[in-house]
Amino acid sequence: MTLLNILNKKPTTDVAASDSASEVQERFVRPRYRIVDTEDVYTIDVDVPGVSKAGVDITLEDGVLEIQARRSWQTPEGWSSFNRDEAGLVYRLRLAIGDGINDEGIKAEVEDGVLQLTLPKAEALKPRKISVN
């Protein structure tokens, strides 16, 4: 279980790093994901096999949550792939979350190739009990 930092701005350093590393072309794939809606939070499980903590970027801009998860795999020298080479594979998922989420409280962790996001609901969305006098 590792806790991730949620950035509100796009990191620029990563882009530069991948430029210099690369003849490897990035391919974007939409991951499978599941959303569970509970009283206080939305929990999103995103399948990102082959991705470790370092490979995950999460940004939130204009009400759109963007998740990018890069595989760390690099095909070793002397290896050839004979169906698909997974080098450069990036899982990308964008979710429109609008105003319904308390941005500050978003949490993410990666374990066994699953990225689990916890998005606390904004106060306005939570069910409220109103007592009757």
Summarize as ranges the residues that interact with other proteins (CB under 8 A).
Answer: 29-38, 42-45, 47-52, 64-65, 72-73, 75-76, 78-86, 93-98, 100-101, 110, 112-114, 116, 119
Closer residue to other proteins in complex, CB, 74/132: 74
The position carrying tokens 């594979």 is: 89
Closer residue to other proteins in complex, CB, 22/72: 72
103/95 Cα distance (integer angstroms): 14
Residue 48 near residue 54 (C-beta atoms within 8 A): no
Closer residue to other proteins in complex, CB, 17/64: 64
117/91 Cα distance (integer angstroms): 15
15/32 Cα distance (integer angstroms): 24
